[in-house]
Amino acid sequence: MLTLYVLAWLVLPSAAQADIYLTKKADGSYVVSNIHRPGRHYTRVIPEPASSGTPVGLSAATAERPYAEMVAAAATANELPAALLHAVIQAESSYNPKARSETGAAGLMQLMPDTARELGVRNVLDPASNIQGGARYLKRLMVMFDNDMALALAAYNAGPGAVLSRGGVIPPFSETQRYVPNVLRTYRALQGLDPDEPL
């Protein structure tokens, strides 16, 4: 039955254009999708064809972005969607590897000095190191907030203490209130999701 489900998916016109993932729901049924959502266990059953011009592991939407292969590697290593890392990088630095904030955050994912040291990132201005460190930190926040993407992003922006001290809600800081929907908007667009689709 499962094989037939996957084969049925393959005959769809767009099915061979992206990685295809399989996950099992609590009721025992299977879901086949080309969208990898955080917090769910997936098995990639069909890789995106290399002949499409897009490297395996990269979606067409993220392959054209700067640092695409570095982001894909960090996403895979930390079990995060590459689209989420791209959305964070876009919001944090607009892909400027030398970006610095007034508070001392630096690099593509704007790592604070203490956070970078804790994550073992020696050179925050090195794109690969910065992306890997930022991905590890974001993964930690996703675990901390039970894979609630909005809360993890709020914690990335304002610090986990600001979220935890308010009982697990997005802090009322104007920057964070703008930051979270902005990142989620970019993420949904890169994933091919509707603007208001639940994550």
Q: Is the model more confident about 194 or about 141?
A: 141
Specify the pLDDT at position 133. 98
Specify the pLDDT at position 196. 81
With a cut of 90, say whether residue 155 has pLDDT above it: yes
Domain-by-domain residue ranges, the chain?
2-47, 60-191
Q: What is the mean pLDDT of residues 72-101?
A: 97
Is residue 44 within 8 A of residue 20, CB to CB? The reply is: yes
Specify the pLDDT at position 94. 97
Specify the pLDDT at position 48. 47
Reported confidence tier of residue 199, pLDDT bands at 50, 70, 90:
confident
- Residue 44's DSSP bridge partners are 21
Specify the pLDDT at position 54. 42
Q: Which residues have CB under 8 Å from 106's CB, separation 6+?
A: 98, 99, 100, 113, 116, 124, 125, 130
Specify the pLDDT at position 114. 95
| C-alpha–C-alpha distance, residues 109 and 116, integer Å | 10
Rounded to whole angstroms, the maximal C-alpha distance in the chain is 57
Reported confidence tier of residue 20, pLDDT bands at 50, 70, 90:
low
Specify the pLDDT at position 55. 44
pLDDT in tens, 45-80: 555 444 344 444 467 788 889 999 999 999 999 999
With a cut of 80, say whether residue 161 has pLDDT above it: yes
Specify the pLDDT at position 52. 40
Reported confidence tier of residue 197, pLDDT bands at 50, 70, 90:
confident
The topology (CATH level 3) of 60-191 is: Lysozyme (1.10.530)
Reported confidence tier of residue 195, pLDDT bands at 50, 70, 90:
confident
Tell me, yes or no, if 48 is annotated catalytic.
no
Catalytic residue among 64, 69, 79, 92: 92
